[in-house]
Amino acid sequence: MAEAPTVEALLERLLERDRSAVAPALNLVDDRRTEPARAANELLDRLEAALYESDPGRRRVGLTGAPGAGKSTLLDALVRRLRSQGETVGVVAVDPSSRRTGGALLGDRVRVRSSARDDGVFFRSMAARDRLGGLAEGTRAAATVLEAVFDVVLVETVGVGQSEGDVQPLVDTLTYVAQPGAGDLLQFMKAGILELPDVFVVNKADQGAAAQRTLRELEAGLGLGASHEDGWRAPVVAVSARDGTGIDALLEALAAHHAHQAESGRRAERRRQGRDAFVRGALQHRYGSHGMAALGGEPALLARLEGDANATGFGLVQELGREIEEALAKPRPRRP
Amino acid sequence: MVDKAGTDRDRPWVFRTYSGHSSAEASNALYRTNLAKGQTGLSVAFDLPTQTGYDADHPLARGEVGKVGVPVAHLDDMEALFREIPLDRMNTSMTINATAAWLLALYVAAAERQGVAPEALRGTTQNDIVKEYLSRGTYVFPPEPSIRLISDMVAYTVHAIPSWNPINICSYHLQEAGATPVQEIAYAMANAIGVLDAVRDRGDVPDDVIPQVFARISFFLNAGIRFVEEICKARAMAELWDELGRDRYGVTDAKLRRFRYGVQVNSLGLTEAQPENNVIRIVLEALGVTFSKKARCRALQLPAWNEALGLPRPWDQQWSLRIQQILAYETDLLEYEDLFDGSHVVEARTEELRKEAKEELDRVLAMGGAVAAVENAYMKQRLVESHTRRVRAIESQEQTVVGVNAFTEAEPSPLVEGEQSILVVDDSAEREQVERLRAFRSRRNQADVDTALRGLRDALSNGDNVMPPSIRAAHAGVTTGEWSDTLRDLYGEYRAPTGVSAQGAAAGDDGMQDVRERVGALADRLGRPLKILVGKPGLDGHSNGAEQIAVRARDVGMEVVYEGIRLTPEEIARSARDEGVHVIGLSILSGSHGVLVLDVLEALRSDGTDVPVVVGGIIPDDDAERLLEAGVKRVYTPKDFDLGRIMDEVVDVVEETAGLG
């Protein structure tokens, strides 16, 4: 295997938006061995810090929905349209891992046919592996690397309720893809996370009456709930990824959400919340409630997150992690 | 029929050999020799560029021209293919699907040049797009326009070429993809219903012609080595077909409800080890589809004994033709009524298959029919599952394959000694075809071509039948690539679901624990789980092998990127780098491994991607040697049936490359 590039070199190339640095950077941030993991964390910390200052035009969009909702076809149509508008696109697609064997089949999806010769598209598939925290951490790292180089980052996951909660903190706009037929919608409403997505898509609009019914149900369902805290009302867009209808309307809805966030100052705030959720999740995952207690519990964590408003998520996980490890290593002071 | 000895005999089925290679001229010579040897019909194998709608000079055609069949790019090619073969007296079967309307148009135009009217033509266009999505992989357009093209051809031929079979519903490839007999029957019937419903609902033919349309639907079956069950399968299909005609389509004339089918006996079960044994397999499989008069095939093509080794030579094909002739002319098979009527064993098994198939058929119909069950991957997933079970049964020796997993002790076969035990297509075939194509393009009238292509586009946009403007285009000098591009522009291109993702690993002790542990241990040393790219470069769509590798790799704990068929070497190289894989597995069955594998290696090198490559396919020893010299790490051929061992070696390769070996 070729010599691994240094963190310094990778960082420089990524910030120059050098496409050829993306794959080695993604390989590095996926590496669990001690030394590469340390290097990866340094890279991600510095990259995220640089991105705080970066062009607010760049954005991360999550695409989630039940299996069979047609997310991949929709993704394909979205990438084509974005490319035709001159925007570069990085895609990270997460597929489930087999619980029993740890193996995974990735990329059983429609791929963007033009991508082989188009440097403006990058596709990386990932296995969810052990889902607790794993999905959020790996996906966040990949999205951070891709965001350095591409205008739009699309994160595709199979949503069966919980993963929306995992993906939401790491994207600026969460899109939920429903298909005609109310079954999955009902599940979704039961799960009580109807308020998470920023944009709803009813795919397969070419199926006529069934799609119209789902559209109406969704609109009615959303009408019952309150709009998002920042005054955004999630629109419902009917598309047919197959024949391309509604793709423009969807892009407009995504752009409208982006503009709304920029105006309301909500984008920065949401990224902060996303960072906090990530830090909390990662620490929980690594050290459990015992570790959190050693840090001083939730109030202490909140204070630290408040205080370090400009620190990156990756940096905080590293720093607080070290503190937890030290605290756990210390003998407990005996009370008199 | 009364033979020379005065015995009352049935007329034999049509004898065919699936053949074609290199060029129209070379294939024509082969056809005429075969006919002189007593073959009674022709079965045209087209090369992959022709099947997928590319001219020989298209980048995707590289390495594939003239390989698995004959290249036919324009009317002169078609004319040369049938030179001195009077088309009014020939029964021609064409294995052509996505571009079937175009090849039929060329055939009609070539007949007209011979002075033969379309009404006089007899033959079959395979034209079954559903099984292309499921197994064979030479689809081009999405399901909806594909079905429209089929419906157009049905509507056209029922009047203009009344003895033509516009579609041959293929259960053959379903069995190759893993189908059990029940699945083979059910999915073929679902497919036929999809076509018939489309023709009926589109109103392309008047209602009173539907019985004629029903009667023109023929089938193409596979005959496997379990030949008793195969007899029952054909009988069950005949019964179900009769039932469908009567109940679903109101066909009152029993003659029009006859189940008509042709057969290619199983090529998948032919072994590379002790290949002479294949002759016995072929004979038994041929018996399975001729034994029962009630369910006897109308046409039969037998593979050659050495197909698992490479392309058969004329002598190899002759040997298979002789099997048919001995069966039909020497034995007393054709002197009797049905031998199995009244056999309670055969009748019970037939009824069992019919009943189970009907249930599975109803499931598919309930989810919206064959096209819906392609798009939601239901049928494909069922097939991949069955195939996985079959592969495992052979590995675990639960299913005996003589010479492969049992009785492997053998003398060297004198039949495979020597240099030329298979046919090698001359590398000049591609260059010469490109030259002929360019010469043809320069001598035709471009204005006529432009007008014809505009006419084709307008007709399709208006919803008119595809056949008349295609026949005009054939006469005007349009090429296969141009015709197909026009349709690609209108309809777009389709990629079918691969069917590998949904199912879980088999439970219990599957004998893979050791490999799984190695994969797990290697992940710790690599820093992340072993990631493999399984890719099929080129136009070959036979994805069953690649799918089995993908499923097994997942089951031993690898993370598998599988992107389906028809990838260019550049796409594979880019995917390998972007996805960060540790190893690439390529599968190629079309014989174009020489060019395509080297192109992948070159694309990787020029990208600076240092990822090892292993290759599987029908690859002769000499070629394997060359690939290894070029840098391929391992080469696998059909005799490597033990997927567990292949996985173990993939781990070796990754360890060696990472310097962890």
Instruction: Note the pLDDT tens digit of each residue in B579-628.
Output: 999 999 999 877 778 889 999 999 999 989 999 999 998 888 889 999 99
The DSSP symbol for B330 reads I
pLDDT recorded at residue A134: 52
Tell me if A102 and B557 make a contact (CB, 8 A cut-off): yes
B136-174: pLDDT as tens digits = 889 999 888 999 999 999 999 999 999 999 999 999 999
Query: Of the CATH numbers 1.20.120, 1.10.287, 1.10.10, 1.20.5, which one belongs to the domain with range A1-54?
Result: 1.20.5
Mean of the pLDDT values across residues B52-72?
92
Which one is catalytic: B152, B204, B540, B599? B540
Active-site residue B607, yes or no? Answer: no
Tell me if A106 and B504 make a contact (CB, 8 A cut-off): no
Mean of the pLDDT values across residues B175-181?
91
Under CATH, which architecture does the A55-263 domain have?
Answer: 3-Layer(aba) Sandwich (3.40)
Which one is catalytic: B21, B58, B67, B173? B173
- Closest C-alpha to A178, from A71, A62, A60: A71
Residue B263: pLDDT above 90?
yes
B494-544: pLDDT as tens digits = 877 666 654 454 544 567 889 999 999 999 999 999 999 998 888 887 788
- Return the SS3 of A234: coil
Domain ranges of chain A: 1-54, 55-263, 269-329
Contacts of B368 in chain A (CB under 8 A): none
The DSSP symbol for B203 reads T
Mean of the pLDDT values across residues B446-467?
96
R_g of chain A computed on alpha carbons: 20
ipTM for the complex? 0.90
The Cα angle at residue A173 between residues A85 and A73, in degrees rounded to 5: 60
What order of strands is seen across the sheet that includes strand B261-265? Answer: B14-16, B299-301, B261-265, B218-223, B168-170
Per-residue pLDDT band for A168 (boundaries 50, 70, 90) equals confident
Residue B211: pLDDT above 70?
yes
Which amino acid does the sequence have at B458? D
- The minimum CA-CA distance between B399 and chain A, rounded to whole Å, is 26
User: Phi, psi at residue B584, to the nearest 5°?
Assistant: -120, 130
CA nearest B551 in A: which residue? Answer: A105
CA distances from B151 to A243, B66, B154, B156, B283 (A): 21, 30, 5, 9, 37
Tell me if B561 and A26 make a contact (CB, 8 A cut-off): no
Q: Are B72 and B46 in contact (CB under 8 A)?
A: yes
- What does the DSSP assignment read for A47-94? HHHHHHTS-TT-EEEEEEE-TTS-HHHHHHHHHHHHHHTT--EEEEEE
Tell me if A27 and B528 make a contact (CB, 8 A cut-off): yes
Active-site residue B172, yes or no? Answer: yes
pLDDT recorded at residue A294: 87
- The minimum CA-CA distance between B622 and chain A, rounded to whole Å, is 29
What domains lie within chain B, and their CATH numbers? 126-410 (3.20.20.240), 513-657 (3.40.50.280)
Cross-chain CB nearest to B557 (options A95, A103, A111)? A103
Question: What are the residue ranges of helices labelled H in B250-368?
Answer: 277-288, 314-325, 344-366
Distance (Å, whole) CA B125 – CA B94: 5
Cross-chain CB nearest to A124 (options B555, B578, B608)? B578
- Closest C-alpha to B634, from B619, B649, B655, B654: B649
Per-residue pLDDT band for B12 (boundaries 50, 70, 90) equals very high
Tell me if A115 and B571 make a contact (CB, 8 A cut-off): yes
